[in-house]
Chains A and B, each alone.
Chain A
Amino acid sequence: MARIAIDPVTRIEGHLRIEATVEGGKVVDAWSSSTMFRGFEIILKDRDPRDAWLFCQRICGVCTTVHALASVRAVENALGITIPDNARLIRNIIAAIQFVQDHVIHFYHLHGLDWIDVVSALKADPAKTASVAQSISDWPNSGAALFAAVQKRVKGLVDGGQLGPFANAYWGHPAYKLPPEVNLLGVAHYLQALEWQREVIKVHALLGSKNPHLQTYLVGGVAKPVDPNSQNALNADGIALMNQAARQAIDFVSKVYLPDLMAVAAVYKEWAGYGAGVGNFMTYGEFPNDSRSNSANLLMPRGIIMGQDLTRVLPVDQQKVTEQVTHSWYDYKEGDGKAKHPWEGETAPRYTGPKPPYEFLATDAKYSWLKTPRYADAPMEVGPLARVLVAYAAGHKRAKELVDSALAQLKAGPAALFSTLGRVAARGIETLLIAEAIPGWIGELSANMMQKGDLRIHEGEKWEPATWPAEAKGYGLHDAPRGALGHWVSIANGKITNYQAVVPSTWNLSPRDAKGVRGPVEAALIGTPVADPKQPLEILRTVHSFDPCMACAVHVVDTRGRTIAATKGA
């Protein structure tokens, strides 16, 4: 029996560590750990709750908008503030652009390389690649000359020994199955995605007044004025720019991302049989249709699916969210056995793990800096698959169309969704669904400004701490690209007394709970084939399908090498 350790797993920012035991060419057990302390909550104590989002947006560079949104929602919930409609629309547009950009980048620049062999692209025939491209999409940039140019550029990098972010991958691994032409197509679109993202992200610069690190979040609304008669506000020019970016987003997702995803999925169909995970899925839902605090009237519905049962969508009650520390390097005052709701949450670190460098973690004891979130005592997978399954099971029309069409193309039934491939497909499907919703919000915003003369962006009635109750508690829910994100805040005498964030990657990568039940990624790895324990590409496929953001989960960036090291144990 071989035990392998992969550390870190994320290509961009990572302190995620996976240990797995492999027997007979398959994973028989797995542990996921974060090896860096999280605890930014400590920094927020005693601060003005109106400033919390400014700190939260620095938790992670990939998800700045995400934490800022959850934070202002939590404080608004605590203080009983209802934001103006324009603020809801601007927040929806910012969040939707974040989703679209994030998912496309994840597919082409992170996860795609688990399926697409860059080195194999050198063997492709550019003319044949053009025919493949034209057979799956009417995207115009698909000529043989373009593919030949991309191939030449990759060859230059390979010959110069400068594969860069590709250098650590397992090129030539037997688990790579795409023909060279599809690999070349993937590499070409990797480059086109880079060019595309700069156009789409212009919406953030416009609405955020500043990018990176948007400055327009504000407890009670947004700090982005809307006024058709002002050059300094969001006006008709801004609306036109956003409409153009939304069209480009829909175009790229429908004509490049989804066709590529389906072309890859068709070759890797066996991955619909791996990576099922815990079978429980939770989403807070996202993109509110009205301005009520944590409104349940949403584009993508809120809900829970238990035990892969698509016939029932259960409601979400945030009171049932708890965190345990049985296997996490923290102490609870009442002892480790306790499951605490975030309002009562504690962040008292105590490392008891091995002194680095070490070969393996002591997984029988505490083994992670992540806590163990549970909903009504059960582990929950969060993220695109949870959102798409809940929407599908709830009868969401567009979600059903897109899911059924993808399943028909792959000649598979809904059971195929509970898998690594299902997770990858769900991410693409929801990207289109969300991108398609953006023009509607822009239209509403435009109608408010131009026709109704509604220029309100901020509710200031409860801005001054003198108007607040002596004590208040609130929660802010945001289903972020990586899944259910909740911020919980307690306020007394105008200051934060406790702040807890339960982030998507903590749900998905949680260690075992007090009863020894595995977290979603740990469970998903069971049964994954591993052709060569020294090159555990297959494990990475399933882990990356969750799109872990350990910078998020651990709140720091990489301080060590990025090498994906694998060691073989006894």
Chain B
Amino acid sequence: MAEYDRATIEELIDGTIDFFKLKEMLSSFKDPGRFDTYIEVLQDRVKWQDRILLPYGLHLYVVQKTDGKRMIKCDCGHEFCDANDNWKLHALVYVRDTEDRVQELYPEYLAPDPKWQVIREYYCPTCATQLEVEAVTPWYPVIHDFQPDIDGFYKEWLGRPVPDPAG
């Protein structure tokens, strides 16, 4: 079974990894140590102390507070909400719903018609990093992207319980 050193995983996270190395990783069975190394790298890179349970998207994490609560948290330390909640409802949102606004991104005839499709951009209220973009019909509810079963993942895939919040 393949094993990769920390430097390789860091390259993977940064997107600087060589394509052929990446291809090899994609085509092989996942190395058993990958998740822990990955989390370790992420944990070392953030300035705060809360334990990362799961990466939740670019710049976002599900963290465990010392009282056992699970929160969605940004790189910068901004805490959005409980892990089961939709963080987008707590973010800043910019909706491109006019021709002028969509044409800032796309040339005229390659842009969507805002009567049919709008582009919603979600930003962190603290660091203003763009965290997610949705292209949806105008009336569409805010999408709740990802509702992971964290306890199931730890127990059934990693074969261990979620770490003790006090530990």
- Asked if chains A and B come from one complex, the reply is no
Chain B residues within CB distance 8 Å of chain A: none
